[in-house]
Amino acid sequence: MEILDIGPDSPQFMAVYDELLREAFLPDELMSAEEFREAAQHGTLWVTGAIHDGRPAGAAVAEWSQDSQVLLLSYIAVRPDLRGTGIGGQLMTAVHTTWQDRVHPLLTLAELEHPHAHQRHTQYGDPIKRLRFYARHNALALDLPYFQPAMKPGGRRVPGMILALLAAAPGFASAGVAPAGPVRAFMTEYLTQTEGRIGLDTDPEGAALFQAMSAADIRLLPLDARHLVLAGYQDGSRLKPHRRQAVLDEASNAAAQQAWTNGI
């Protein structure tokens, strides 16, 4: 297994998109193939891949926001038959080492499905296991009512998400808080680039998110599926089980619904 950068001119580059990302993420969660290639050519996106028998077995995709100095782990995926064999862990090591050396981000973030709102799926993965994976790699939740912005104007947002902190510049996040400034700048750029505008007066979810980022700091919480209650989600009104468009694994759904009813 080799862990290496896969540039936009590599024959493996679109294989990562077609064989890994398309397989692991719903269309609402995934940028288009054109955006993927263009951002890499522009230098704001890069791919670290795990190559096995000449094919990509796993990959992590970074998006760099120069303005906010925030790095986003946009996607990480491992081929379903190779999950649980340590490849994801090796990719996370790259996030914590080579990615940090490359741009020295103030904050490194990732978007995770909240297990109270998302169900397990054989193809797209298990939100509770995923939280455990990130917790093992020292990630923390930002205390925000997060949603993933729509990937294009008029597209659909993914509700019930967690914005997680994977890494911070030395001394930048401490005593259980992270500074809100870079997160606000990052979200402003992200929403403008994807949804085309920010109109908080007609957007209650956006307004709640920006309200929760309005103080100087954002509280950091352990990624614990049992107890993760985020600001703005506390009354549960915005954190309903999110029905995926794809065909769901019925047995897992029943278990997830039961867990939801029991408060996980």
Q: Of the two residues 59 and 173, which places its CB atom closer to ligand COA in the complex?
A: 59
Strands in 33-150 per DSSP E: 45-52, 55-65, 70-78, 107-113, 140-142, 146-148
Interface with ligand COA, residue 17, by CB under 6 A:
no
Interface with ligand COA, residue 21, by CB under 6 A:
no
- Give the relative orientation of helices 204-212 and 180-195 as an angle to the nearest 10 degrees: 160
Q: Of the two residues 55 and 179, which places its CB atom closer to ligand COA in the complex?
A: 55
Q: Of the two residues 90 and 100, which places its CB atom closer to ligand COA in the complex?
A: 90
Q: Of the two residues 40 and 60, which places its CB atom closer to ligand COA in the complex?
A: 60
Q: What share of the chain is helix, strand, coil (3-state, %, to 5)?
A: 35, 25, 40
Closest Cα to residue 60, out of 104, 115, 32, 20? 20
Q: Of the two residues 116 and 130, which places its CB atom closer to ligand COA in the complex?
A: 130
> Which DSSP state fits 237?
T
Interface with ligand COA, residue 137, by CB under 6 A:
no
Interface with ligand COA, residue 7, by CB under 6 A:
no
Both structure tokens of 22:
């398309």
Site mask, ligand COA, residues 67-86, x = CB under 6 A?
---------xxx----xxxx
Interface with ligand COA, residue 147, by CB under 6 A:
no
Residue 49 pairs with which residues in a beta bridge? 4, 59
Region near ligand COA per CB under 6 A, out of 87-95, 146-154, 184-192, 248-256: 87-95
CA–CA gap between residue 149 and residue 145 (Å, rounded): 12
Interface with ligand COA, residue 125, by CB under 6 A:
yes
Where is 220: in which H helix or E strand? Answer: strand 217-222
Q: Which residues are at the interface with ligand COA (CB under 6 A)?
A: 24, 76-78, 83-89, 110, 112, 125-126, 129-130, 132-133
